[in-house]
Amino acid sequence: MSAVSNGDLVRAAKKVAKFRRATDDVTFGHVGAAILTDKGHVYTGVSIDAWCGLGFCAEPSAIANMLTNGEHGIRKIVAVNGRNGKILPPCGRCREFLYQVTGDKEVGVILDKCREAKLGDLLPEQWQKKSFKRRH
Ligand SMILES: [Zn+2]
């Protein structure tokens, strides 16, 4: 078992969830995310928002950090709103991305202080490559 508790993971996400401005057109850190890997390491990431509409959630940012460090197995993930410190369930795109990266419906998703769900419960019908048939 890991020595990293849900509280530790939430604190790691809160630590990076600080609104900051990179340029006139880009802000980041509205939301922070933290991942506990199956090797027991914690990786964090922040949301990024560009004025033109581009950007992404904190979860893929943390996933990119994890992949950059050579890991891909996620035990748990949490995202926190930097403005009020509340835990945020992942959006639909992030649920799908979590599944595509890990292929694991047992990934734990912290939903609030007292609740946690398995990714498979939040994403019962994930996209599947096999549902596409090659035509040529
Ligand atoms: Zn998202």
CATH code for the domain of 85? 3.40.140.10
Indicate the pTM of the whole model: 0.92
For ligand 1, the distance from its centroid to the CA atom of residue 108, given in whole angstroms, is 16
For ligand 1, the distance from its centroid to the CA atom of residue 5, given in whole angstroms, is 23
| 126 assigned to some structural domain | no
The alpha carbon of residue 94 and the mean position of all alpha carbons in its chain are separated, in whole angstroms, by: 7
| 114 assigned to some structural domain | yes
| 127 assigned to some structural domain | no
For ligand 1, the distance from its centroid to the CA atom of residue 94, given in whole angstroms, is 4
The yes-or-no verdict on residue 70 having pLDDT over 80 is yes
CA dist list (Å): 47 to 12, 29, 57, 126, 130: 15, 5, 4, 23, 31
Residues within 5 Å of ion ligand 1, judged at the Cβ atom? 57, 91, 94
- pLDDT tens, residue by residue, 23-65: 999 999 999 999 999 999 999 999 999 999 999 999 999 999 9
| 42 assigned to some structural domain | yes
| 50 assigned to some structural domain | yes
For ligand 1, the distance from its centroid to the CA atom of residue 135, given in whole angstroms, is 32
CB atoms within 10 A of CB 46: 25
Interval 61-79 mean pLDDT: 98
* Structural domain of 21: 6-121
* Burial status of residue 111 (CB atoms within 10 A of its CB: 0-12, 13-18, 19 or more): middle
* Burial status of residue 89 (CB atoms within 10 A of its CB: 0-12, 13-18, 19 or more): middle
| 130 assigned to some structural domain | no
The yes-or-no verdict on residue 136 having pLDDT over 70 is no
| 131 assigned to some structural domain | no
For ligand 1, the distance from its centroid to the CA atom of residue 32, given in whole angstroms, is 11
Q: What is the pLDDT of residue 129?
A: 80
Q: What is the pLDDT of residue 127?
A: 87
Number of domains composing the chain: 1
